[in-house]
Amino acid sequence: MTAVPADRPTDQDIDPRPRLTRLVLTTTGLVVTRLLIIGVVLLAWELASGTLVPKFWVSSPSAIFARLVQWIADGSLWRHLEATLLAMGVGYVIGCLIGVATGLALGFMPFVQRILMPYLAGLYALPKIALAPLFIILFGIDIESKIALVAITVFFMLLYNTLDGVRDVDGDLVEALELMGATRREIGLKLLIPATLPWIFTGMRISVRYALTAAILGEVIGANRGIGYLIEASAGQYNTTGVYAGVLVLVICCVTLTELLTRAETSTRRGGP
């Protein structure tokens, strides 16, 4: 779509698309259209449920909504949401801190890095979810085991991003600073860390989504609280309404998180050089 100069009225002849298409493509048009689609889907779902398809399999929008209201009213929604977000947040922070610190330390000590890399590569390749049962044994059924699972997932992402960042530093810059008389410490502070920061931020951004996934998976595998537990527990009782309601909460969480991340990204991009 090209911008039309202000002094020329947008004539119908200029835009060859049908009137309806143009109407839909305005901002409000888009919102209304999207609402219409979801409305139609929900309505069809409601009507089909119990008539075309047994209610046992698909539940129904009204039942799901009622369940959500009930969860909100009795406070269980907040309790589970809190557990999931707490596991995710604490694990994320721990994973970021240790991942960046280890990445920088190994980056500064290429010798140690060479020795340890095969072990780290092996652990990195391992799907972390396989560790969930072990963590439950080690840290218990409560939130600690989920924190550990999130932390180890995030740790490896940050470790590898930081290492890639250090590896990407131009050796000629290192030499230039060395010739000026910089010590190893100064090369770290003035060159390696600032050069690696963008890589660290990228790692932090990407791993937010993985942190949520790890928290939910941990809860599905074994927990006594959390959205993942809610879904798993409902499924265990063949309570499809509960499963759908749990999934819906999860969808809302993901959308909110993605939206927040996008905002944070655009604002940082506008800020820095």
Partner 1 sequence: MPPRDAVMVADAPARDPRAAGVPKIELVGASKTFYVRGQEVTALQPVDLTVGDQEFVALVGPSGCGKSTTLNLVAGLLRPSRGEVLYDGVPVTALNRRVGYITQKDTLLPWRTAAANIGVALELQSRAVPRAEAQERVAQLIDLVGLRGFENHYPAELSGGMRKRVALARTLIYEPECLLMDEPFGALDAQLKLLMQDQLQQLVHQRRMTVLFVTHDLGEAIALADRVIVFSARPGRIRAVRDVALPRPRDVFKMRFTEGFGRLHEELWDELKDEVAKGVDV
75 in contact with partner 1 (CB under 8 A) = no
CB of 73 to partner 1, least distance (A): 53
Binding window for partner 1 (CB under 8 A); candidates: 51-59, 178-186, 199-207, 256-264: 178-186
259 in contact with partner 1 (CB under 8 A) = no
> How many of the chain's residues bind partner 1 (CB under 8 A)?
18
Total residues belonging to the chain: 273
Confirm if 95 and 151 have CB atoms less than 8 A apart: yes
CB closer to partner 1 out of 118 and 171: 171
Q: Which residue has the tokens 């230039």?
A: 176
271 in contact with partner 1 (CB under 8 A) = no
CB closer to partner 1 out of 65 and 201: 201
Q: How far is CA 212 from the centre of its chain?
A: 5
The residue from 182, 206, 247, 254 that contacts partner 1 (CB under 8 A) is 182
What is the DSSP secondary-structure string of 228-268? HHHHHHHHHTT-HHHHHHHHHHHHHHHHHHHHHHHHHHHHH
CB closer to partner 1 out of 108 and 139: 108
The residue from 194, 224, 238, 266 that contacts partner 1 (CB under 8 A) is 194
109's enclosing H/E stretch is none
CA count, 13 A, side-chain hemisphere, 261:
15
273's enclosing H/E stretch is none
CB of 105 to partner 1, least distance (A): 22
CB of 188 to partner 1, least distance (A): 13
CB closer to partner 1 out of 150 and 191: 191
CA–CA–CA angle 91, 97, 101 (5° rounding):
145
Site residues for partner 1, 82-141, by CB under 8 A, read none
188 in contact with partner 1 (CB under 8 A) = no
CB of 110 to partner 1, least distance (A): 17
Of residues 232, 231, 235, 266, the one with CA closest to residue 251? 231
Confirm if 257 and 208 have CB atoms less than 8 A apart: yes
45: Cβ contacts below 8 Å, ≥ 6 apart: 58, 60, 61
Query: Which phi and psi angles does 159 have, rounded to 5°?
Result: -60, -50
5 in contact with partner 1 (CB under 8 A) = no
The residue from 183, 224, 256, 258 that contacts partner 1 (CB under 8 A) is 183
Site residues for partner 1, 152-171, by CB under 8 A, read 170
CB closer to partner 1 out of 196 and 240: 196
Confirm if 210 and 120 have CB atoms less than 8 A apart: no
270 in contact with partner 1 (CB under 8 A) = no
Residues within the interface to partner 1 (CB under 8 A): 170, 172-173, 175-183, 186, 190-191, 194-195, 273
